[in-house]
Amino acid sequence: MRLSINRFLVVTALILSSLVGVRAQEHHQEGEPGVPQLGGETAAKGKFNVGEMIMHHIKDDYGWEFAHGVTVHLPVILYSADRGLEMFSSSHLAHGEVHDGYKNVHGKIHRVNEAGVVDEEAKFFNFSITKNVASLFLSAAIMLLVFTAVSRGYAKNKGRAPSGIQSLLEPIILFVRDEVAKPSIGPRYEKFLPYLLTLFFFILINNLLGLLPGSANLTGNITVTLVLAVITFIIVTLSGNKNYWMHIFKPPGVPVALLPIMVPVEIVGVFMKPLSLMIRLFANITAGHIIILSLLGLIFMANNLGGMMTSLSISPVVLAFTLFLNLIEILVAFLQAFIFTLLTAMYIGSAVEEHHHEADHGIGHEGAGAH
């Protein structure tokens, strides 16, 4: 009993400390370097800060740190109207150095003037191959290799039973086709199947890659989920038929007096659907990473608090929990890929549906409610 209370206290402290870490960083960015901060400054003194560690892991970076001290410096690509395209290794920006008038200030590249002061006026675009972009390339390469191999398998085993990687992935492809695309979209599913398959495997592979130690947190990045959600939004909007638009601007069976309320609600719903897709995937994956990193951080926190022996003694418990959560994260990796794809299919289905029966009425709304 005492143990569990203690654990609860430790976990609470941990969550609070991560918030402190974020706060500390924010403060720092606002330009108050003189005030000693709990998170940022203690880390500088060599003390372990779990919030900083977690943020470092789940956020993007200019180098890919596989393990402590083992970093691959990735290229920084910048474009500005006055200086054109510039490309150099991120190693030049490590440890706050200034390179060609650029400086990495808390994970963001700024232009600095001769005096070394950040020039906020300078406008430039940052197309750097960051850790996430590199991971994106890696996952794209994996997908290309895997699925061209699967495709070759179909050519090779024509009229015969599937073999190898083909038989491993065929059930998943069939699952996406028969359980996601067909029931949600209806007879016109084939047009949308390539997108759904790409989406499903892209999210799945990146979720799973993200679980590997030292890997990037791609699907837990709001930019990536934003792009996926916007593509879904564009597809739904472009394939929306008369029924779909009529359902938004003149919902059948709704009294005229209610239209001023219903139409804005429906319009908000149109944008809320991709927004919910974006936030759901981002939040689920990021939360999973934060929980696992927090658990592992417990060991180092124990080192801070009670020295080596304390951290050694809690390690087995922490490792057991981490292992358990990693298994759950594998489940979540599949689940979130499935949910994103299913909801996309449902939104497309509601946009291309031909006849509105009362029974089918709620599918889109149900989907939107299934957070």
Q: Whole-number minimum distance, CB 179 to other proteins, in Å?
A: 14
Q: Whole-number minimum distance, CB 23 to other proteins, in Å?
A: 13
Q: Whole-number minimum distance, CB 133 to other proteins, in Å?
A: 5
Interatomic CA distance for residues 206 and 208, integer angstroms: 5
Return the number of the residue (57 or 247) whose C-beta is nearest other proteins: 57
Return the number of the residue (42 or 206) whose C-beta is nearest other proteins: 206
Interatomic CA distance for residues 147 and 64, integer angstroms: 26
Interatomic CA distance for residues 196 and 183, integer angstroms: 13
Return the number of the residue (151 or 241) whose C-beta is nearest other proteins: 151
Classify the C-alpha dihedral 338-333-235-196 as positive or negative: negative
Return the number of the residue (98 or 283) whose C-beta is nearest other proteins: 283
Q: At which residue do the structure tokens 């006849």 appear?
A: 355
Q: Whole-number minimum distance, CB 197 to other proteins, in Å?
A: 5
Return the number of the residue (133 or 248) whose C-beta is nearest other proteins: 133
Return the number of the residue (197 or 293) whose C-beta is nearest other proteins: 197
Q: Whole-number minimum distance, CB 152 to other proteins, in Å?
A: 9
Return the number of the residue (9 or 144) whose C-beta is nearest other proteins: 144
Q: Whole-number minimum distance, CB 103 to other proteins, in Å?
A: 14
Return the number of the residue (126 or 303) whose C-beta is nearest other proteins: 126
Q: Whole-number minimum distance, CB 196 to other proteins, in Å?
A: 9
Locate 132 and state its tokens: 């996430």
Q: Whole-number minimum distance, CB 282 to other proteins, in Å?
A: 9
Q: Which residues are near other proteins by CB under 8 A? A: 55, 58-61, 77, 107-108, 125-130, 132-133, 136-137, 140, 143-144, 147-148, 150-151, 154-155, 158-159, 170, 173-174, 177, 190, 193-195, 197-198, 202, 221-224, 226-228, 231, 286
Amino acid at 131: K
Q: Whole-number minimum distance, CB 226 to other proteins, in Å?
A: 5
Locate 363 and state its tokens: 């599918």
Q: Whole-number minimum distance, CB 291 to other proteins, in Å?
A: 15
Return the number of the residue (147 or 321) whose C-beta is nearest other proteins: 147
Q: Which residues pair with 63 in a beta bridge?
A: 73
First to last CA, the chain: 34
Return the number of the residue (235 or 332) whose C-beta is nearest other proteins: 235
